[in-house]
Amino acid sequence: MEFRIEIDEKSGVPYYRQIMEQVKFAMARGHLQPGDRLPTVRQLAVDLAINPNTVIRAYRQMEIEGVLETQQGSGTYVGRHQPKIDRLEKQRMLDQILTDLLARASAYGYSVEEVLEGLRQRKEES
């Protein structure tokens, strides 16, 4: 399963929200299918180096929303009701990421063009 969560500590976005967003995006992309088992609370907490309560908060919130189903003693699973992530929301998230990127870059004197060029080189290398 190509499903990995990463926490950006510098983004200012609460950890539990980052977890929720990435799980939902993975579901929308099909990387997480209904019935799939999510990482355990404890394991994900260790992987992300955060407190288990923070993972619980993200999972529980998504269960309330109906996108996840938890079975105490067994695990947390992807529910049948897929979250709706429309084009607008995807665009908004990309905008947010790009704004954050450009803000950091400009703090070091980079222009949009320079960032663009740097990214092109990255792409070529891979």
Distance CA 37, CA 112 (A): 41
Q: Check binding of 110 to a copy of itself (CB under 8 A).
A: yes
Outline where the chain has alpha helix (H): 15-29, 41-48, 52-65, 87-107, 112-125
Cβ-based burial of 30 (10 A; exposed 0-12, middle 13-18, buried ≥19): exposed
Q: How far is the CB of 10 from DNA (least distance, A)?
A: 11
Given its phi and psi angles, is residue 32 left (phi above 0), alpha (psi -120 to 50 degrees) or beta?
A: beta
Q: Which residues bind DNA (CB under 7 A)?
A: 12, 14-17, 38, 40-43, 49-54, 56-57, 59-60, 63, 70-76
Q: How far is the CB of 113 from a copy of itself (least distance, A)?
A: 7
Nearer to DNA, 51 or 106 (CB): 51
Taking CB under 8 A as the criterion, the residue among 44, 58, 67, 78 binding a copy of itself is 67
- Asked whether the beta carbons of 7 and 54 are under 8 A apart, the reply is no
Q: How far is the CB of 52 from a copy of itself (least distance, A)?
A: 20
The site string for a copy of itself over 7-46 (x = CB under 8 A, - otherwise) reads -x-xxxxx--x--xxx-xxxxxxxx---------------
